[in-house]
Structure 1
Amino acid sequence: MEIDPFIFRLSIFILSIFVGYYVVWSVTPSLHTPLMSVTNAISSVIIVGAIIAALSGGEGVIFSSSSIFGFLAIVLAAVNIFGGFLVTQRMLAMYKKKKKDK
């Protein structure tokens, strides 16, 4: 008996959701800043793949499904990257020593 490839991939996707949830929520607060840096790096790789997908449309075809999904992936990954940088800067600002006014 052979397993349907769609069911196999769907089960891997669902398992990765659970593993990712438990990995992220078990991280101590002091490691959240390095974790955000890693997710920013992963999102930058996603943007490269999304650019390739967005440009893979046929000759003269502007709105193919790959270009639409590629553009959507670029937008979502860019929001993730810039949001991650803002959160990282905010967390690092919490650890800076405050200057006393004279």
Structure 2
Amino acid sequence: MDGMSLLTITVLAVFVGFEVVSKVSSTLHTPLMSGANAIHGIILVGAIIVAGQATDPWVLTVALLAVVLATANLVGGFVVTDRMLHMFHARKDAARPAAGDKAAGK
């Protein structure tokens, strides 16, 4: 494939990805994020394999950049998932009455 075809596929994938993700409700976001983190982990392993087998300095540079970006994406996904889970956890705690409130008849 030539460069223009690859660029066209990338741009179309970005648009489709944006449309799909923007339609997801907040309730489903956390499970989908966990699945995306698993995919990013596979991408990271692939980038490490490519970097380990690279003989050309240009390929090694691009592969190392892919490792750095995949790592940042993977860690960022887990951070966002963790923050969202804490938001739901705080909501459950606020909805429950405290143990002392039940005993006092409040």
- Per the normalisation by structure 1, the TM-score is 0.77
Structure 1: distance between partners of 2:71 and 2:62 = 14
Aligned to 2:27: 30
Aligned to 1:80: 73
1:1-102 superposed matches below 5 A: 5-58=2-55, 64-96=57-89, 97-98=92-93, 100=98
- Rate the CA distance shift 1:66–1:13 in 2: closer, same or farther, 3 A: same
- 1:94 is paired with a residue whose SS is helix
| Unaligned residue ranges in structure 1 (runs of 5+) | none
Rg (Cα) greater in structure: 2
- 1:55 is paired with a residue whose SS is helix
Structure 2: distance between partners of 1:101 and 1:86 = 32
Structure 1: distance between partners of 2:64 and 2:99 = 49
RMSD: 2.2
Structure 2: distance between partners of 1:76 and 1:6 = 21
Shift of 1:85: 1.0
**Deviations 1:51-84 (Å, cap 9, x if unpaired)?**
12211223xx7xx111111111111111111111
Shift of 1:101: 8.6
Structure 1: distance between partners of 2:72 and 2:7 = 26
**Deviations 1:5-49 (Å, cap 9, x if unpaired)?**
443333222211111110011111111111211221111111111
What is the identity percentage for the equivalent residue pairs of Structure 1 and Structure 2? 44
- Rate the CA distance shift 1:25–1:78 in 2: closer, same or farther, 3 A: same
- Per the normalisation by structure 2, the TM-score is 0.75
Structure 1: distance between partners of 2:18 and 2:71 = 22
